[in-house]
Chain A
Amino acid sequence: MAFSYRSPYLSTSYQQDSGLFAPSIKRINFIMLLVVFIALVPYVSSASILSVANFSLIAIIGAVGLQVVTGMASQLSLGHAAFMATGAFVSTGMFFQLNLPPWLIIPIGSISGMMLGFISGIPALRLRGFYLGITTLALQAIVGVACLKYQVFLQTRYGTTTDLLLPQLRVLGVTIESSASWFFFLLVVSGLSVFFVKNLSRSQFGRDTAAMRQREVVAESLGINVAIVKLRAFAIAGFFGGLCGTLQTFFFRQASIEDFSLTVSVKYLAMIMIGGLGVVSGAVYGAVFVTGTTFLVGEIISRGGLTETLGPKTRGIELLIFAMMMIVFLIFEPDGIAGVWTRVKGYFQLWPYRYVSTTRVKR
Chain B
Amino acid sequence: MLTSFIGLQLLPQNFDSPTSFGKLLLTFALMTVGGIIFGLGVYRYFIQPLSGTSRISIVLMTLAALFLLEAVVDIIWPGESGFMALPGTSIGFQASDTVYIRLFDLLPPVVGFVVWLALLLFYRLSRQGIRVQAVAEKSSLAARRGINIDHIGAVSWAIAVVVGVIAGMTIGTQSVVSTLIVGTALKGFTVALVGGLDSIEGILPAALLIAALEVATVRWIDQQWSEAVPYIVLLVVLMIKPWGLFGRTEELERV
Do A and B form a real pair? yes
Interface of A, secondary structure class, is helix
Number of interface residues of B (CB under 8 A): 44
Q: Which of B55, B61, B63, B75 contacts A316, CB < 8 Å? A: B75
CB distance from B28 to the nearest CB of A (A): 27
Q: Which of B64, B186, B189, B228 contacts A142, CB < 8 Å? A: B228
**A326 lies within 8 A of chain B by Cβ:** yes
**A312 lies within 8 A of chain B by Cβ:** yes
User: Considering the chains assembled together, what is the distance between the CA atoms of A137 and B231 in angstroms?
Assistant: 8
CB distance from B84 to the nearest CB of A (A): 22
Instruction: Tell whether, in the assembled complex, residue B59 and residue A76 are in contact, meaning their CB atoms are under 8 Å apart.
Output: yes
Interface of B, secondary structure class, is helix
A residues 253-274 in Cβ contact with B at 8 Å: 262-263, 266, 269-270, 273
**A52 lies within 8 A of chain B by Cβ:** no
Q: How many A-B residue pairs have CB under 8 A?
A: 131
Instruction: Tell whether, in the assembled complex, residue A145 and residue B224 are in contact, meaning their CB atoms are under 8 Å apart.
Output: yes
- Residue of B60, B74, B253 with highest tally of chain A CB at under 10 A: B60
Instruction: Tell whether, in the assembled complex, residue B75 and residue A313 are in contact, meaning their CB atoms are under 8 Å apart.
Output: yes
From B53, which residue of chain A is reached at the shortest CB distance?
Answer: A334
Which of A122-130, A193-201, A237-245 lines the interface with chain B? A122-130
Known contacts A130-B55, A131-B193, A320-B72; is-contact A263 B67 (Cβ 8 Å): yes
Instruction: Tell whether, in the assembled complex, residue B49 and residue A331 are in contact, meaning their CB atoms are under 8 Å apart.
Output: yes
B residues 6-46 in Cβ contact with A at 8 Å: 46
From A327, which residue of chain B is reached at the shortest CB distance?
Answer: B64
CB distance from B76 to the nearest CB of A (A): 8
User: Considering the chains assembled together, what is the distance between the CA atoms of A300 and B79 in angstroms?
Assistant: 22
Known contacts A134-B234, A319-B74; is-contact A70 B56 (Cβ 8 Å): yes
Known contacts A137-B231, A145-B224; is-contact A317 B75 (Cβ 8 Å): yes
Contacts of A76 in B (CB 8 A): 55-56, 59
**B141 lies within 8 A of chain A by Cβ:** no
Instruction: Tell whether, in the assembled complex, residue B224 and residue A74 are in contact, meaning their CB atoms are under 8 Å apart.
Output: no
Instruction: Tell whether, in the assembled complex, residue B227 and residue A266 are in contact, meaning their CB atoms are under 8 Å apart.
Output: no
Known contacts A129-B255, A320-B75; is-contact A141 B57 (Cβ 8 Å): no
**A277 lies within 8 A of chain B by Cβ:** yes
Q: Which of A127, A142, A312 contacts B231, CB < 8 Å? A: A142
Known contacts A138-B190, A316-B74, A334-B53; is-contact A326 B64 (Cβ 8 Å): yes
B residues 57-102 in Cβ contact with A at 8 Å: 57, 59-61, 63-65, 67-68, 70-75, 78-79
Q: Which of B60, B74, B238 contacts A127, CB < 8 Å? A: B238
Known contacts A149-B224, A323-B68, A326-B64; is-contact A331 B56 (Cβ 8 Å): no
Instruction: Tell whether, in the assembled complex, residue B67 and residue A323 are in contact, meaning their CB atoms are under 8 Å apart.
Output: yes
Known contacts A76-B55, A312-B79; is-contact A138 B65 (Cβ 8 Å): no
Instruction: Tell whether, in the assembled complex, residue B255 and residue A130 are in contact, meaning their CB atoms are under 8 Å apart.
Output: yes
Known contacts A126-B239, A312-B79; is-contact A327 B61 (Cβ 8 Å): yes
Contacts of A134 in B (CB 8 A): 189-190, 193, 234, 238
Instruction: Tell whether, in the assembled complex, residue A145 and residue B227 are in contact, meaning their CB atoms are under 8 Å apart.
Output: yes
Known contacts A145-B224, A316-B71, A316-B75; is-contact A138 B56 (Cβ 8 Å): no
Q: Which of A74, A138, A263, A320 contacts B234, CB < 8 Å? A: A138
Contacts of B190 in A (CB 8 A): 134, 138
User: Considering the chains assembled together, what is the distance between the CA atoms of A12 and B42 in angstroms?
Assistant: 51
Contacts of B65 in A (CB 8 A): 323, 327
User: Considering the chains assembled together, what is the distance between the CA atoms of A334 and B232 in angstroms?
Assistant: 34
Contacts of A149 in B (CB 8 A): 224-225
7 contacts between A and B (CB under 8 A): A146-B228, A148-B224, A266-B63, A270-B60, A313-B75, A316-B74, A334-B53
5 cross-chain pairs, A with B, having the tightest CB-CB distances, nearest first: A316-B74, A138-B231, A320-B71, A326-B64, A319-B71
Residues of A whose CB lies within 8 Å of any CB of B are 70, 74, 76, 123, 126-131, 133-135, 137-139, 141-142, 144-146, 148-149, 262-263, 266, 269-270, 273, 277, 312-313, 315-320, 322-324, 326-327, 330-331, 334
